[in-house]
Amino acid sequence: MAVVVALGVSVIVAAEQAPAAPPGKKLYEAKCIRCHKDLDPTIYEDMTWKRWLWKMKDKARLDNEEYGDLSDYLKGVREAAKSRKAR
Ligand code: HEC
């Protein structure tokens, strides 16, 4: 019985935390860091990065939705870094 209650609680916690971490971040950590220990998304320009991500799509076995999530996430990371530098 205690096990059932504990499981129920952890499911609720997981559901509440889900929106906080963008799906792209999880994908990046799960699919890319496997081969690239600490690859920094900000070291390439948008176009260069796009080309690499397209190449890596097969290597990391991303489907189209994951590819989209990842592109959005990495773009966000780059834009955040740019606006930090601009200030
Ligand atoms: C199976 C291993 C593997 C996976 C998974 C993988 N890569 Fe790569 N990646 C490589 C290899 C090998 C290269 C070397 C260049 C080549 O393939 O032409 C590379 C090169 C790169 C490069 C350019 C070179 C560099 O090291 O700066 C980028 C950027 C990159 N990968 C991003 C990613 C991203 C983002 C993901 C996740 C979607 C990813 N990779 C997943 C193996 C992998």
**The pLDDT value given to residue 12:** 55
**Percentage, residues of the chain above pLDDT 90:** 59
The domain of 51 spans: 22-86
CA of 56 to the centre of ligand 1 (A): 5
**What's the total number of domains in the chain?**
1
Do the domain assignments include residue 14? no
Average pLDDT of the segment spanning 45-66: 94
Do the domain assignments include residue 57? yes
Closest CA to 55 of 35, 37, 84: 35
Do the domain assignments include residue 51? yes
Do the domain assignments include residue 7? no
CB of 59 sitting under 6 A from ligand 1? yes
CA of 5 to the centre of ligand 1 (A): 42
CB of 34 sitting under 6 A from ligand 1? yes
Atom 19 of ligand 1: nearest residue by CA position:
56
Q: Over 50-62, what HEC string results?
A: HHHHHHHHHHCCC
Closest CA to 65 of 2, 23, 11: 23
Do the domain assignments include residue 53? yes
pTM, entire model: 0.78
Whole-number Å distance between alpha carbons of 18 and 21: 6
For tokens 């920094």, what's the residue? 40
pLDDT band for position 35 (cuts 50, 70, 90): very high
Do the domain assignments include residue 12? no
